[in-house]
Chain A
Amino acid sequence: MVFSSLAFIFRFLPVFLILYFITPERHRNLTLFGGSLIFYALGEPVYLILIVLSILINHHLGLCIARCPRRPKKRTFYFVLAMIYNFGMLLVFKYTDFFIENINTVIELINRRAGTGLPIIPLLHLALPLGISFYTFQIASYIIDIYRGSQKPERSIVTLGTYLCMFPQLIAGPIVIYSDLSAQLKTRHVSLEDFEDGLKTFALGLGSKVLLANRIYLLWNEIQVTGFDSISTPLAWIGAFAFSFQIFFDFYGYSLMAVGLGKMLGFTIPENFRFPYAASSVSDFWRRWHITLGTWFRNYIYIPLGGNRNGKMRTIRNLFLVWALTGLWHGASWNFILWGLLFFVLIALEKLFLGRVFHKCRFLGHLYIIFLIPVTWIIFSITDLSYLWTYLTRLFPFLNGSSMWVFGRQDYINALQTFGPLFVLCILFSTPLPAKLYRNHKKNPLVILALLGIFWLSIYYLVISTNNPFLYFRF
């Protein structure tokens, strides 16, 4: 179940909130835990067992690690066991088929070269359990913190379960570190003002997802329908921008909704985005995009590896590892690894010299981000490498010496005519300006009215797309 669905907004949420608020404060974790399990089960009834197992096993192993502070070997044993379980599950469910595919490619190559008849390994076709990438990272941070001694293990299964699977951040983050929430998991109080604030944030997130992301997606969809090899170079660029806005407003909206819901329940969930497209370098971009993931990789991989303290070569190696893993985390496919490694190259270059250039000339940095990031998103979005190459040659026709135009000059003019106003809105909301206005005039009745308008307009779009997909995806 996603937040931007009518079933969530008009069914699950009201029922849950009523139950949550009539529960006495000290039992609210139980309500939240139960509600979250139901929320999860509605979207993923089979793999519910996996998340429950994860809670039980990690709860137990966390206690085991803390129980023997003076026996480092035993501690490490339990720690490694927990890591193997957590990342093992992630590997099995997310990456098995990817590995098998690659092994098969090698086998086929050997068969062709040497004429042998080595058998091909059949794929498992496992469905990806909902949110496994997110909750694995959360629970791993919990175990690592206990092992490091910076965090006490949680005695109550309900509290740990609430942390791991509370529905606001269960499916798509933000990745919340246990220590950020531990105090709020014990006691929290929701004032009416907090609640209202949460509702407003939720409405903003919903609007971002439904009114911006979903609508600009129509352009990206149209380009896919047309076929990548039939679009002109200007349209290819417009498409890259459209996808960049789509992925941003989609994810940003989802994170905002999570923050809003958290606030309604009494939690402070960290912000996940800080106007990434207003960044002036790639390193800056990643300090603003999916902040919680970046923080996780920094705290649990980059710094333990030594960070940038052991000389240039070590720094480069560490960066390489972090970015290859970041790419792989986003999806089990070569294009994601390519995407991560591209960031490795860019960030390494910035660390070496490019960063100083952009620091001196901010304008150049902004220009660089504006045109570079959409290209990286194209690599991110197209999983099929041959299609990806086609799109890249449309973006840069000189790559294969083709013409800028395939079916004339009309296509990008049409796209701009239809989606121009939406692009203006997207650009506007990518800048910090609207957020600043909102922060300063939160209590203004006009702002509240506007938010109500955004909320009901989003609902309107959701209704017409549920009832009649043709109004949304019209032919």
Chain B
Amino acid sequence: MKRKNILHNLTKIPLLCLITGTVFLSDSIYDGILPWPSPFHITLGYTDHAFEFSADWNWGHPAKVRMNTPDPVLPADGNVPLEKADASTANDTFPDPDGGDGINDSDIGNEVPDSDGSDTASDPDGSGAVPHPDGGDTASDPDGSGAVSHPDGSDAASDPDGSGTVPHPDDKWEQEPGGVDEPADTEAAIGEDGLPLVSYIQVEDDYFDDAVFIGDSRTRSLQLYAGLENTTFLADTGLTIYTVLDKKLTPSTSNSKTTVTDYLTQHQFRKIYLMLGINELGTGTAESFCRSYSGVLDQLRELQPDAIIYLQAILHISESKDKEHTYINNAAIIERNEALKSLADNEHIFWLDSNSAVCDEDGYLLDSYTFDGVHLQAKYVYLLTDYLKQHAVKVNTPPYQPSFTPQPRAVP
């Protein structure tokens, strides 16, 4: 009787196994549930740009199956040594405005170290150790109207096409409030990193009329809450550097979905603001990320030869989010920012780190600005836009047209 009962019950086991599937035997998906190691390890997952399946025997030879994935999955802590670290430390000497508030004009032109928030945490020795190569332009911004100007090279030095056209004094560029900025002597034109130095001017909303913003949900908050009505946004939640060119998304200017490549083929812009990188933290290394980024930059340059590209630093996350110790952490962000920085050439591609506008002195996104630790709340988005407006790069491109609307490109 009893034995029969047990047998009867045993018949249910196949049913169970069927329901739970083979996953039951493998140490898939979740790690660390069992105190003992499982012999079989399967990782299933999306890395946002490709489906990834890797399987390996912990006790045998590792075997990995990957479909269409250029990047290995980063371990959860994201601590991958970056070979480029040395190169990027050297790069961080190019002038970076400190303080997004734009009102501390006192430090302009003084020997203020580059106090970029991201540097201080990552490379204590490299950060701020090098004072600005003072170009002697201490006379800039006499009216204190909030323009941040930096010791800059002459315009000719940062002339992208080498044609040497100096903007006419009547240009609107030069007439920006407080943006007047006497060119320093040409000797200071090259920064220690060998790149031309950049000078910034203050601009107004219409500066963005011929700009396109490309990015993930953080750029999307700009689209929704910055109040830049005439600006084109190509932003989508979850957008990554791997999907940016080919993912179908809805541009702010239309209701039909299109890809960034298609849109940029049809429309020409003068400025491209690019911010991507938070979604990619779980994927690849800083180096591989940077490589993909570089490829995208090349394609954007090809699509928009007349545009300057603002390569924006990945915004940091808040302290409480950082303390969750996931692979979304500031150390990883800073590491990637350091790598990204080296992609700027200060001729076409300009590094723009707006973290100082929204972060505390430890480089954490201020908790009061954010609910989830990642996104700015709508009412604080203006801090970013203000920062962007204070940091328009002064370049020798023709002046922008205030009434610019994206036009279909004229086929020659």
Measured CB to CB, the residues of A under 8 A from B are 6-7, 9-11, 13-14, 17-18, 21-22, 24-25, 192, 195, 199, 221, 224-227, 229-231, 406-407, 410-411, 414, 463-464, 466-471, 473-475
Contacts and interface: CB of A to CB of B under 8 A. Distances in A.
Contacts of A225: 370-372, 375, 377
Nearest 7 pairs of A and B residues by beta carbon: A230-B378, A474-B238, A227-B377, A467-B45, A21-B9, A475-B217, A7-B33
A192 B15 CA distance: 10
A470 B282 contact: yes
Contacts of A407: 224-225, 227, 378
Interface in B1-47: 2, 5-6, 9-10, 12-13, 15-17, 19-21, 23-24, 28-30, 33-34, 43-47
19 contacts: A6-B29, A13-B20, A18-B16, A195-B15, A225-B372, A225-B377, A226-B221, A227-B371, A227-B378, A229-B379, A406-B378, A467-B45, A468-B45, A469-B326, A470-B279, A471-B48, A474-B279, A475-B217, A475-B279
Contacts of A463: 29, 44-45
Contacts of A7: 30, 33
B237 interface: yes
A468 B46 contact: yes
Contacts of A11: 24, 33-34
A17 B44 contact: no
B307 interface: no
Interface size class of B (residues with CB under 8 A): 35 or more
Given A17-B16, A225-B371, A10 B282 contact: no
A11 B24 CA distance: 7
Given A470-B279, A475-B375, 19 more contacts: A6-B29, A9-B20, A11-B34, A14-B16, A22-B6, A24-B2, A25-B5, A192-B15, A221-B372, A225-B372, A225-B375, A226-B221, A227-B377, A230-B378, A467-B43, A468-B45, A474-B217, A475-B216, A475-B279
Contacts of B238: 470-471, 474-475
B12 to A, nearest CB: 6
A6 B30 contact: yes
Contacts, number: 107
Given A199-B19, A224-B371, A407-B378, A466 B6 contact: no
B12 A230 contact: no
Nearest to B11: A192
B24 A24 contact: no
Interface in B29-85: 29-30, 33-34, 43-48
B375 A24 contact: no
Interface in B145-164: none
B275 to A, nearest CB: 11
A14 B20 contact: yes
B374 interface: yes
Interface string B346-388: 0000000000000000000000001110110111000000000
Contacts of A25: 5
Nearest to A13: B20
A14 B12 contact: no
A230 B225 contact: yes
Contacts of B43: 467
Given A230-B377, A407-B227, A414-B224, A21 B12 contact: yes
Interface of B: 2, 5-6, 9-10, 12-13, 15-17, 19-21, 23-24, 28-30, 33-34, 43-48, 216-218, 221, 224-225, 227, 237-238, 278-279, 282, 326, 370-372, 374-375, 377-379
Contacts of A13: 20
Contact of B9 (A22, A226, A414, A474): A22
Contact of B29 (A467, A471, A474): A467
A475 B218 contact: yes
Nearest to A7: B33
Residue of B2, B12, B374 with most chain A CB atoms under a 10 A cut-off: B12
What DSSP secondary structure best describes chain A's contact surface?
helix
A195 B12 contact: yes
Contacts of B44: 463, 467
A199 B20 CA distance: 11
A321 B8 CA distance: 52
A234 B119 CA distance: 43
Nearest to A407: B225
Contacts of A18: 13, 16
A26 to B, nearest CB: 10
Residue of A11, A227, A407 with most chain B CB atoms under a 10 A cut-off: A227
Contacts of A21: 9-10, 12-13
Contacts of B28: 10
Contacts of B6: 22, 24
B47 A468 contact: yes
B238 to A, nearest CB: 3
B48 A468 contact: yes
A160 B15 CA distance: 31
A470 B48 contact: yes
Contacts of B13: 18, 21
Residue of A225, A411, A466, A471 with most chain B CB atoms under a 10 A cut-off: A225
Nearest to A218: B237
B8 to A, nearest CB: 9
A260 to B, nearest CB: 12
A463 B13 CA distance: 24
Nearest to B237: A474
Contacts of A475: 216-218, 237-238, 278-279, 374-375
Contacts of B29: 6, 463, 466-467
A443 B298 CA distance: 59
A471 B45 CA distance: 10
Contacts of B21: 10
Contacts of A471: 46, 48, 238
Given A199-B19, A470-B279, A464 B46 contact: yes
Nearest to B23: A10
A192 B48 contact: no
Contacts of B379: 227, 229-230
A291 to B, nearest CB: 29
Contacts of B45: 463-464, 467-468
A71 to B, nearest CB: 45
Residue of A226, A407, A466 with most chain B CB atoms under a 10 A cut-off: A226
Nearest to B315: A475
A475 B277 CA distance: 10
Given A17-B16, A414-B224, A226 B378 contact: yes
Contacts of A414: 224
A192 B11 CA distance: 10
A468 B370 CA distance: 22
Contacts of B47: 468
